[in-house]
Chains A and B, each alone.
Chain A
Amino acid sequence: MVAALGTRSVENRASHPESVPNSNVQVSPEARKRLERIFETNNEFVWRLLRRLGLNRERAADMTQQAFLIAAERLDGIKLGSERAFLFGTALRLARTSSRMDRRWVLEEDLDLRTKTAPGVDELADQHRATELLDRVLATLPEELATVFILFELEGFSAPEVARFVRIPVGTVASRLRRAREMFRASVARLQKASLRGGKS
């Protein structure tokens, strides 16, 4: 856990950055309710996004909380309906500061999974292995392609939604997605090859 937000009052400086902070500003029940709703609706999305961007489970939980803390601070400035996009941008920036530490692996390196990467019966049961392999594959994609791929392919957002989140034209979403898929498939093929090599040796 990274931080704690007081249950009874919260600083509201988003719209008045220069003013002396007033810690006694009470959070309105509406604001608390809104934060609750935003958290309930988006916490898994933010956490999964951070995971797919290379953070481990604990780090992803820490950074998810950071993202919501930042959202809580700026609640008044976040437009209704833009909460998820705001959290996406915030989480992406948080991931950039974290992933250098967490995301070290190279696709086929250090794979004691090498002989197990084919989707055999036993392997299919291993959810953790699948997500680890997925993350290895995603780590081979440049960030701008990975984010589009994650949002569209894994989180199921439509192309216009992805365009709004990433703030690029829909046409660019399509072209990035095309390139991301090519790279994804190429990396998966490399993994499978490595799996076969491992199986033979």
Chain B
Amino acid sequence: MKRMQRLLDTTDTNDFELWLLRSAARERPSASAVAAMRSGLGLSGVTPLRIASLFSLKVTLLAVSFGAFLGLHGTEPSAPSFMNASLAAPGSIALEGKVNAAEREKVAPDTGLTSAPAPQLPVVGQTAASTKVNRAREHLASQEGAKAPTGPDLREEIRLLDSARNAIQGHHVEAALDSLNTYASRFPSGAFKQEASVLRIQAVAMRGETARASSMAKRFVESNPNSPYVGKATRIAKSPASTAAPQ
């Protein structure tokens, strides 16, 4: 079957559609939101979340007391003993997770991927205040200042990338690389840097330098594991010669 092309890679996608499609690739959680998630998961490397951790523990303790008061043991057999164990051994709290009960049920783990049964997550009330903590962080993060490109710059970035893409589709490798070089020199931290990198890899592969393209693609994937272009780069890394040809 002929490989399908993304709308981003076809010539009949209009500017407005491209603008919308590209906006998604550029969106990512703020650094502080990621830090909060890491902290919540007990992953290392994050420290600014003492407040959130304290809050989380407090909520857990409150919820345990509340659960005991309501006599929820019967309805959620695993939760109380689990939580009590947490209380008994605060130094090795097993899981302070607060997966909302309703959500947990609806997120039935029938992924079909494994035979593993439903996770018996402890049930603790959803916390509005924890959201507040996040909101404050998001706000701070936004103030930290994402350097939004100005309108004309962004338009020029898009023009250069479109030009490179069209050149690649027309087998005009050198013209494509010219556009990409211009892009790299004018916008070293451009909004579409990743897209430009993948186009460059594609152009290099088209020029017949498949080994170089493959190693560039591998480096790209290593440096940008979360990029929406990982799939494309991986395909180029695996088979630079065939992937490079316009489809």
Contacts and interface: CB of A to CB of B under 8 A. Distances in A.
B78 interface: yes
Q: Is chain A's interface secondary structure helix, strand, loop, or mixed overall?
A: helix
B138 A17 contact: no
Contact of B111 (A17, A85, A181): A85
B23 A131 contact: yes
B8 A153 contact: yes
A93 interface: yes
Contacts, number: 291
B152 to A, nearest CB: 6
Interface residues of B, number: 96
A106 interface: no
A130 B113 contact: no
A134 B23 contact: yes
A62 B134 contact: yes
A94 B7 contact: no
Interface in B155-170: 155, 158
Interface residues of A, number: 99
Contacts of B86: 6, 23
Contact of B37 (A17, A68, A184): A68
B99 A69 contact: yes
A74 B119 contact: yes
A161 B227 CA distance: 15
Contacts of B29: 43-44, 47, 57, 60-61, 64
Contacts of A23: 82, 85-86, 89, 92-95
B38 A39 contact: yes
Given A44-B226, A131-B24, A177-B4, A192 B116 contact: no
Interface of B: 1, 3-4, 6-8, 15-17, 19-30, 33-34, 36-44, 49, 52-53, 56-57, 78, 81-82, 85-86, 89, 91-100, 102-103, 106-109, 111-121, 124, 126-127, 130-131, 133-135, 138, 148-152, 154-155, 158, 225-232, 235
Given A3-B96, A137-B20, 6 more contacts: A4-B40, A4-B96, A6-B86, A8-B93, A77-B114, A125-B150
